[in-house]
Amino acid sequence: MNVARIRQLTLHHHSQPFSFRSLHLASSSRQAGLFTPRISTLQSTSPLIRRAFNSTARDLIRSSYFPKGGNDGYGGGYGGGGGGSWFSRLRSRIDRIPTMTLIYGLIGLNGGVFLLWQYAISSAQRFRDPTLFFFLQKNFILNEVNVFSGRIWTLVTSAFSHMSGSHIFVNCLGLYFLAPAAAGLMGSSAFLGLYLGAGIFSSLTSLTYHRLKRDRWMGSEGASGAIYACLSFYGAMFPQSTVLMFFVIPMPVWVAISGIFAWDFYGALFRPNSGTDSAGHLGGITYGLLAALAMRRGGFIRMLRGGGRRW
């Protein structure tokens, strides 16, 4: 969720030319850039996995933690009937989508919004037409003005929004390496819920943090909250698995997550103007941990009912 410090465009369409210098787009690293992990082991006896689990281990995990059918909160519907609700049917359709196809789709959506930003910036620069830029600013940037003006969808759309090329590159790289691990455990529909839910939760965390601090926060955008949720979800399920920080330094995933959390907590307290939305990072990590806790206990619905699998 890269902090996008967007100074207001002061445009006089006919009296003076548009100057792109009036835009200050600080796209510094809200990226999943403290490390770029590569997940190495499912269990101590498993081989190095290349972005996903082998089918046997994945099926065993899904059958244990994500059983389908019945009233377990995963595939049996919420109304108690055998046919299932519209939501259950939609979820079943999403589950038929291969997980990597879904991940590539999310990467494609992020890329599409990035290209829109580039076209909007180019139009504002070359043709003095900021219409598209203002549209994206209102609908794909998370800030108080947008949310309290009724554009609550920015809680989600900001998780698909990147203005900087380096920002989207690092975040899409994180999606490519991290998301298959979580998606392989959960299946397509649950993973999509994790991505969208983490985007909303990290946005709310960021919004609450800046509102309490009453600082001059222009807004933020980026998929890092959802990416960190994927990492923390997997780390909570298999804390002794190994990741490679910066593709080089091996360490247990729980150490990596703890280090990231500590770094962003420090940043939120002492580096509020660093250009990184540390509060959004913390929200994403927290959401992934909570999702893993709920899922390991048999799903949110079963947990709320008091039943389900225990640690």
3 state DSSP class of 220 = strand
42 vs 56: CA distance, rounded Å: 12
Mean pLDDT for the stretch of residues 173-194: 90
Determine the pLDDT at residue 48. 33
Whether the pLDDT of residue 43 is over 80: the answer is no
Whether the pLDDT of residue 268 is over 70: the answer is yes
Bridge partners of 273? none
Query: Which value, in Å, is the radius of gyration of the alpha carbons in the chain?
Result: 20
Mean pLDDT for the stretch of residues 220-249: 86
53 vs 67: CA distance, rounded Å: 18
**b/e sequence 65-75, b meaning 16+ C-beta within 10 Å:** bbbeeeebbbb
Q: Higher confidence at residue 233 or residue 49?
A: 233
Whether the pLDDT of residue 19 is over 70: the answer is no
Q: Higher confidence at residue 6 or residue 148?
A: 148
Determine the pLDDT at residue 296. 74
Helices first, then strands: H and E counts in the chain:
12, 4
Residue type, 20: F
Determine the pLDDT at residue 79. 40
pLDDT tens readout for residues 57-104: 555 555 555 544 433 333 333 344 445 688 888 989 999 999 999 999
Average the pLDDT over each of 92-96, 142-146, 302-306 and give the range with the smallest value: 302-306
Contact 37, 179 (CB under 8 A): no
Select from 122, 107, 211 the least CA-distant residue to 159: 107
Range of 1-5, 7-11, 12-16, 229-233 with top mean pLDDT: 229-233
Q: Higher confidence at residue 240 or residue 118?
A: 118
pTM greater than 0.85 (yes/no): no
- Listing DSSP states for 272-287 in one string gives TTSSB-HHHHHHHHHH
Count CB atoms within 10 A of the CB of residue 261: 18
Select from 178, 181, 184, 177 the least CA-distant residue to 60: 184
CATH superfamily of 2-6+40-68+86-305: Rhomboid-like (1.20.1540.10)
Average the pLDDT over each of 75-84, 120-129, 262-271 and give the range with the smallest value: 75-84
Share of residues in the chain with pLDDT > 70 (%): 67
Reported residue count of the chain is 311
Share of residues in the chain with pLDDT > 90 (%): 40
Mean pLDDT for the stretch of residues 164-175: 92
214 vs 290: CA distance, rounded Å: 28
Whether the pLDDT of residue 14 is over 50: the answer is no
pLDDT tens readout for residues 129-139: 999 999 999 99
Whether the pLDDT of residue 158 is over 90: the answer is yes
Determine the pLDDT at residue 25. 36
